[in-house]
Amino acid sequence: METKISATLLDYASPLFEGMPPSVPLEQRRSILQVAITVWNALVTAAWGGEDLLPDLFRRLDALPEPGRSTMRATIDMLVARKRQLFARDLRGIGAWELRQTANGDVSLWAEARAPRR
């Protein structure tokens, strides 16, 4: 049985959350996860035979001031390498998703897997 895309996504993005204190606001966690999803989907779209979206992503990074630009570039490079090394065979796209905080304070992710368009 294939792993749920939400579990795969959390595994993929786990280096971004390492050492993060529980007090980090949910909105910040969502923003971090959005970066991981954007990179994942860019790589999957290219694997499906679609447009390679990474060059455009890197062009947009060039508009960021330092040190943010270098930090984001290193983050994206790490995510690209991680996808290619550990998740290369997973070609599911990520559609709608939601990061929620449960009543007991835990964070829960729901995500929709997308197949390539035929």
Separation in Å, CA 117 to CA 47, 101, 102: 12, 32, 34
Predicted model pTM: 0.92
- Please provide the average confidence, as pLDDT, over all residues in the chain: 93
Q: d(Cα 5, Cα 85) in Å, to the nearest integer?
A: 17
- What is the model's pLDDT at position 103? 87
Q: d(Cα 116, Cα 88) in Å, to the nearest integer?
A: 15
Residue 118, pLDDT > 70, answer no
- What is the model's pLDDT at position 116? 82
Tell me what the mean pLDDT of segment 91-116 comes to: 93
